[in-house]
Amino acid sequence: MADIAAQLEAVRRRILDAEQRAGRSAGSVALLAVSKTFDAAAVRAAHAAGQQAFGESYVQEALRKREALADLPLVWHFIGPLQSNKTRAVAEHFDWVHGVDREKIAQRLSEQRPTQLPPLQVCVQVNISDEASKSGCAPADAAALCRTVAALPRLQLRGLMAIPAPVDDGNDARAPFQQLHALYEQLRADGLPLDTLSAGMSDDLEAAVAEGSTLVRVGSAIFGARPRKRAGTP
Ligand SMILES: *Cc1c(COP(=O)(O)O)cnc(C)c1O
C-alpha cells in the first residue's frame, strides 16, 4: 500500500498553500478523500491519519466497503453518476450526494431517504464545460433544480458540484472554476442557501481553491494511481 498518511499530509499542505495564496482562511476548504477502487484497508489507513469524509462512485463497491468499516465514524459522499436504479441505495446508505442533475433523481432520493436518517445532503451537478457527453445540468437550469431540491422534505440543498473537462496546454485551468463560482454566488444572491462549492481534484485543486471551491475531491494524490476502468463499468 502506498504511504497514505504521508500523501494525505502532502494534499493537506497543498490545500493550505492554495488557501494562503488565494487570501482565504486556513481550513476554509474541506477535503473529501475519494476512495473508489481502493479497499477498506486503504480507507482505514486514511482514517487513522485523521480523514473522516470519503467519496465513492460505484454503489455496490461502496456498500461492501461501508460494511467492512461500520466500526468507524465515517461520512460517506456519493460522487458517481446517478441513474434511477441507484437512487434507493444512495438514499439509504450515504450522507451526501454530489451528482444530482435532474428533478426526477432529486424526487426519488427524497422519497427513498429513510425517515430515521437526517436529510440527505445534496450538491447539484452543473455541466460547466458544456460537453454533451458529461453529466450535470446546464448552468441555466441550475437555479430551478436548486429550488426543487430545497423544497423536497428529505433533502438538504448544500451546493454545486462540477467536473470541468481536462484543460489542454495553453487553456486557462481556472476559467471553468471561475464560471462555476460566479454561478454559485449568483444563486446565493438570489437567496438559495448554498454553503458548498464542490470543485477540484488531484490535478487541479489549486485552480479550484483559487476560484472559491469549499470542498475538493481528491483520490489518486492520496491513494495512488487507480487501475484503468474496466470496459462497461459506469
Ligand atoms: C474519481 C473522482 C475524483 C477524484 O479524482 P482524482 O483525480 O483521483 O483526484 C473526484 N471527483 C469525482 C466526481 C470522481 O469521480
Dihedral sign from CA coordinates of 145, 147, 149, 152:
negative
Decide if 122 contacts 100 (C-beta within 8 A).
yes
* Ligand 1: residue whose CA is nearest its atom 12: 79
Decide if 180 contacts 162 (C-beta within 8 A).
yes
- State what percent of residues in the chain have pLDDT above 90: 88
**Helical packing angle, 59-68 and 40-48, nearest 10°:** 60
Report pLDDT for 166.
77
* Ligand 1: residue whose CA is nearest its atom 6: 219
Dist CA 198 CA 161 (whole Å): 4
Report pLDDT for 2.
63
To test ligand 1's pocket by mutation, which of 198, 217, 228 has the most ligand atoms within 8 angstroms of CB? 217
Decide if 198 contacts 159 (C-beta within 8 A).
yes
Dihedral sign from CA coordinates of 206, 208, 214, 220:
negative
57 φ/ψ angles, rounded to the nearest 5 degrees:
-115, -15
The SS3 assignment for 126 reads strand
To test ligand 1's pocket by mutation, which of 7, 34, 134 has the most ligand atoms within 8 angstroms of CB? 34
For the chain, list the domains and their CATH numbers. Answer: 4-219 (3.20.20.10)
Give tens-digit pLDDT for 98-123. Answer: 999 999 999 999 999 999 999 999 99
Ligand 1 atom nearest the C-alpha of 57 is 15
217 Cα to the center of ligand 1, angstroms: 6
Ligand 1 atom nearest the C-alpha of 98 is 13
Residue type, 230: R
Average pLDDT over residues 31-51: 98
Give whole-number Cα distances, 144 to 58, 198, 227, 228, in Å.
28, 19, 38, 36
pTM assigned to the model: 0.95
Report pLDDT for 230.
54
116 Cα to the center of ligand 1, angstroms: 30
Give tens-digit pLDDT for 55-102. Answer: 999 999 999 999 999 999 999 999 999 999 999 999 999 999 999 999
DSSP state letter for 60: H
